[in-house]
Amino acid sequence: MENYKASDNRYDTMTYRRCGKSGLLLPAISLGLWHNFGSVDVFNNFVQIAYTAFDNGITHFDLANNYGPTYGSAEENFGQILKKGLGLYRDELIISSKAGYDMWPGPYGNWGSRKYLMASLDQSLKRMGIDYVDIFYSHRPDPETPIEETMCALADMVHQGKALYVGISNYNAEQTRTAISVLKEMKVPCLIHQARYSMFDRWVEPELLQLLDENGVGMIAFSPLAQGLLTNKYLHGIPENSRAAKSTGHLRSDQVTEDKIAKIKLLNDLAEQRGQTLAEMALAWLLKDNRVTSVIIGASSVTQLKDNLKALDNAEFTPDELCEIENILK
């Protein structure tokens, strides 16, 4: 085990928010391991990112079974980081994983069956070398499997001690209502809903956010920077080597329209007036709503991580600023 010693001041600057009506507090900013922690990435780089995150009060590390690439490698690498020293602080960490997307061949390696979810969680625990996850999610609803079956599997994970809390991700309002209700019957509340949410992607407003709030369920936002669009990267069109230029991921070049770039420029001007980068302002804008428990950021370097944390330094908006943002986004 390496001689990693966490900073004594790790809780001094982070804000923690209650997750719905639960006993759990989450950091306003959480670290997602969707990208940059896979087998294709540089081990020493992401070890430093993880340590820096925890040293700055990021207690929540968000994973899924197939994060990588390759599938499973983000969890394996995170397991190595825990072994190297972060694991000394296991009781200060919130580790989440998920299953619901493609993971292994055949009919039991995808979607929402009890068979898949149970097997997947066991694999995730093995890869990370831990006895339980703090939060386990159904990563997406399965049109072919009754929500009851999926939720019963989640509830049983809690009863078996393999997960402390459970949540759902990418469920629409109607599916969410059913999931919350089934879990309630099983005496295992739905802790949290993880949904895509950013200035450019506001499908959770108003119905889903309202529903979660009424039922005491927390909400955690992923892709808060719209795959990098809400950064200064695209101010002058599509740069080489960006996600949009490669069109390999979830951001395609045809999504970076003239109209989008014009909006990005106007938002960037406003961010500068506020003494922020566009990325900092985009994160702060999500956190202005107290129904949003936490925002998941990705980071490819320690510098980028620290820059994103600056969003917490100025998370207040004047009514005029909010109005201007709405006008730009129309």
Residue 1's pLDDT band (cuts 50, 70, 90): low
Amino acid type, 150? T
Contacts of residue 86, defined as CB under 8 A and 6 or more positions apart, other chains included, come to 4, 50, 51, 54, 93
Contacts of residue 45, defined as CB under 8 A and 6 or more positions apart, other chains included, come to 36, 300, 301
d(CA 292, CA 116) in angstroms, rounded, equals 30
- The pLDDT value recorded for residue 161 is 98
The predicted model scores a pTM of 0.96
d(CA 233, CA 134) in angstroms, rounded, equals 35
Identify the DSSP state of 329.
Answer: H
Averaged over 36-53, what is the pLDDT? 97
Averaged over 21-47, what is the pLDDT? 97
Nearest to 325 by CA among 198, 162, 190, 195: 198
Residue 256 has pLDDT above 90, yes or no: no
- The pLDDT value recorded for residue 248 is 60
* CA neighbours closer than 13 Å in the CB half-sphere of residue 198: 23
- Going from the C-alpha of 203 to that of each of 138, 199, 200, the distances in angstroms are 19, 10, 9
Averaged over 246-254, what is the pLDDT? 72
Residue 240's pLDDT band (cuts 50, 70, 90): confident
- CB 213 within 8 Å of CB 192: no
- Going from the C-alpha of 27 to that of each of 12, 164, 168, 222, 288, the distances in angstroms are 12, 17, 19, 14, 14
- Going from the C-alpha of 330 to that of each of 221, 260, 262, the distances in angstroms are 21, 11, 12
d(CA 247, CA 245) in angstroms, rounded, equals 5
Nearest to 103 by CA among 130, 161, 63: 63
d(CA 271, CA 291) in angstroms, rounded, equals 23
- The pLDDT value recorded for residue 3 is 82
pLDDT tens-digit series, residues 145-177: 999 999 999 999 999 999 999 999 999 999 999
Domains and CATH numbers, the chain: 16-235+283-316 (3.20.20.100)
Averaged pLDDT score across all residues of the chain: 96
d(CA 274, CA 158) in angstroms, rounded, equals 44
